[in-house]
């Protein structure tokens, strides 16, 4: 019994320490918005653009087909039940509120968050972070801030693209390739969507982007100096990012709709 109590206490303290470290790391990133030194600004802007290109633009061949498949599948399934459900409202709830932010986040986790962790972990293991500090360069500004802004912006853009492609692209595919009666589907969606739905979707995408970036950077910086721990850190990033986006998703939905 003492062993169980001791183990539970240690794990609880470790979790509390992890949460406090994550919040401190997040605070440091947001603090960088308030300080804008002239030196290195062009380098940071370039790094932000490169991160957006890698995270969003290069992911379009992945996110667009997924959005088309999701939109087509949902439209086909629920048009058959149009007498039992408000098709427009169901589409808004599933695509805009839930699936859009979550699927976008999963794509970014698999492509960018783990890649950032591997990159920062490698720099930590091979003493490149220390070399930057010795040269008088702040790694948080040069490495973390640019990825923080770039990934968060990319997630917002990808979420908007996913929703547009899923709704309109799915509608076009079903209308062209099947005999499923579509009726006034787009009108139903336009009537069903509200300002709250759009705010919730954008807020989830923004929160997911912040959470994923913070976790990926944090895991990269805290990697111990052993090359075999680099894939371990990447794995932790994927698992923890997925866990926290689900927690954030439930929290935001509860705040706005309960």
Count the domains in the chain: 1
* Kind and range of the H or E run holding 9: helix 2-31
Structural domain includes residue 132: yes
**Per-residue pLDDT reduced to its tens digit, 70-92:** 888 887 777 766 555 567 777 77
* Assigned domain for 13 exists: no
Instruction: Quickly list H helices, 59-194.
Output: 60-79, 87-91, 100-108, 114-125, 128-134, 139, 146-164, 170-177, 185-192
- Mean pLDDT score, 11-38: 84
The mean pLDDT of 115-122, rounded to a whole number, is 93
- Give the whole-angstrom CA distance, residue 151 versus residue 91: 27
Average pLDDT (107-126) is 92
Domain assignment present for 209: yes
Contact by Cβ (8 Å): 140, 73: no
Answer yes or no: is 126 within a domain. Answer: yes
Expressed as residue numbers, the domain containing 137 is 42-257
In a domain, 2, yes or no: no
pLDDT digits (tens, 9 = 90+) for 224-238: 888 889 999 999 999
Would 140 be classed as within a structural domain? yes
Residue 207 lies in a domain: yes
For residue 154, what pLDDT is reported?
93
For residue 117, name the pLDDT band (cuts at 50, 70, 90): very high
Q: What is the pLDDT of residues 155-190, one digit of tens each?
A: 999 999 998 888 888 778 777 766 655 556 677 777
């Amino acid at each position: 019994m003492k062993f169980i109590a001791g183990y539970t206490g240690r794990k609880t303290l470790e979790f509390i320490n992890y949460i406090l470290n994550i919040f401190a790391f997040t605070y440091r990133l947001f603090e960088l918005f308030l300080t804008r030194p002239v030196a290195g600004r062009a380098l940071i802007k370039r790094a932000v653009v490169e991160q957006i290109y890698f995270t969003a633009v290069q992911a379009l061949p992945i996110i667009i087909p997924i959005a088309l498949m999701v939109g087509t599948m949902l439209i086909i399934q629920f048009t058959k039940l149009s007498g039992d459900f408000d098709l427009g409202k169901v589409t808004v709830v599933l695509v805009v509120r839930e699936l859009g932010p979550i699927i976008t986040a999963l794509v970014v986790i698999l492509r960018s968050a783990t890649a950032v962790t591997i990159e920062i972990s490698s720099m930590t293991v091979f003493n490149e972070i220390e070399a930057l500090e010795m040269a008088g360069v702040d790694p948080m500004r040069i490495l973390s801030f640019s990825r923080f802004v770039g990934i968060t912006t990319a997630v917002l853009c990808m979420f908007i693209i996913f929703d547009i492609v899923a709704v309109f692209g799915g509608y076009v595919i079903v209308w062209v390739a099947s005999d499923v009666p579509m009726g006034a589907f787009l009108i139903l969606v336009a009537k069903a969507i509200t300002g709250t739905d759009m705010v919730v979707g954008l807020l989830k995408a923004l929160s997911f982007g912040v959470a994923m970036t913070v976790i990926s950077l944090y895991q990269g910086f805290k990697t111990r100096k052993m090359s075999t721990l680099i894939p371990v850190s990447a794995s932790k990033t994927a698992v923890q990012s997925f866990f926290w986006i689900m927690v954030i998703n439930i929290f935001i939905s509860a705040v706005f709709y309960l």
